[in-house]
Amino acid sequence: MRKKIIAGNWKMNMTPSETKELISKLKSKCDTNDVDVVFVVPSIDVTTAYECLKGSNIKLGTQNFYFEDKGAFTGEISANMILDAGATYVIIGHSERRGIFKEDNAMINKKLVKAHKAGLLPILCCGESIELREKNTYKEFISEQIKSAFNGISENEAKNTVIAYEPIWAIGTGKTATSDQAEEVCAFIRDIIGTLYNDSVKNEIRIQYGGSVNAGNAKELFGKPDIDGGLVGGASLKEEFASIVNYKS
């Protein structure tokens, strides 16, 4: 049985002071062992969030990092900085990084390799645009994203990677993929992992769905056999996130 993982991607929202406030509202309600819960906060909020989350089971993550250890990379943060500040997860290849900041598959592969070498737990995002969905070429596209990201990743590292399937047309649009559409692609991704590795990795790797997940649709989405939780954007900034975490009750 794979443990579900529900992560809130705060994106570029919340100052350190606002972080304290939001965590005080969410902490007790999201503090569970039934699922893994991760608050993926802006890098500048990690230290504050770490202090606020002490004593709970809630894990911390950042939304990006750079694959070099240190040096002249103005504006970037390293894996060791993230770990030292108390976060353990990192999102890699979010569609906003790919689209707005032009991160390509080669860059995302370097980040995935480095995250594992450094001991971070990566949440690797993939997903197609509306054009590719309508042209019915989304599977080829996602297959390429996955194969390229996992280049050089060992079996054990693959097991410790979380994949988030996030169709771009469903992110921040209020337009959720149906649970059948989400399940179809998550199962497809699991099959790709099976062909890249073996059945053990295929059955252990966790695959989330992300794209307008809310308190009303979480139960149906997370009830699907190949969907192991969610990556949640907008709803992670509200008390609604606690209802998503507790989607079974």
Residues at the site binding ligand PEP, with contacts judged by CB under 6 A: 9, 166, 171-172, 210-213, 231-234
Query: Which of the following is catalytic: 94, 128, 183, 240?
Result: 94
> What tokens appear for 28 in the block?
């007790």
**What is the secondary structure of 44-104 as a DSSP string?**
GGHHHHHHHHTTSS-EEEES---SSSSSS-TT---HHHHHHTT--EEEES-HHHHHHS---
CB of 84 to ligand PEP, least distance (A): 25
User: Is 166 marked active-site?
Assistant: yes
Q: Which of 96, 103, 128, 166 is catalytic?
A: 166
Q: Considering beta carbons, is residue 164 or 205 the nearer one to ligand PEP?
A: 164
Residue 200 CB, shortest distance to ligand PEP, in Å, is 28
Q: Report the alpha-carbon angle 40-5-92, nearest 5.
A: 45
Contact (CB, 8 A) for 118 and 165: no
Name the residue type at position 176.
Answer: T
Smallest separation (angstroms) from ligand PEP to the CB of 176 = 8
CB 100, min distance to ligand PEP, A: 12
Q: Which one, 19 or 214, has the nearer CB to ligand PEP?
A: 214
The span from the CA of 73 to the CA of 70, in Å, is 8
Which residue's CB comes closest to ligand PEP? 233
- Closest contact distance (angstroms) between CB of 94 and ligand PEP is 6
Torsion of CA 80, 85, 89, 92, to 10 degrees: -60
- For ligand PEP, the closer of residues 78 and 176 by Cβ is 176
CB of 209 closer than 8 Å to CB of 167: no
Tokens at residue 78, please? 């390293």
Catalytic annotation present for 144: no
Q: Which residues have a catalytic role annotated?
A: 94, 166
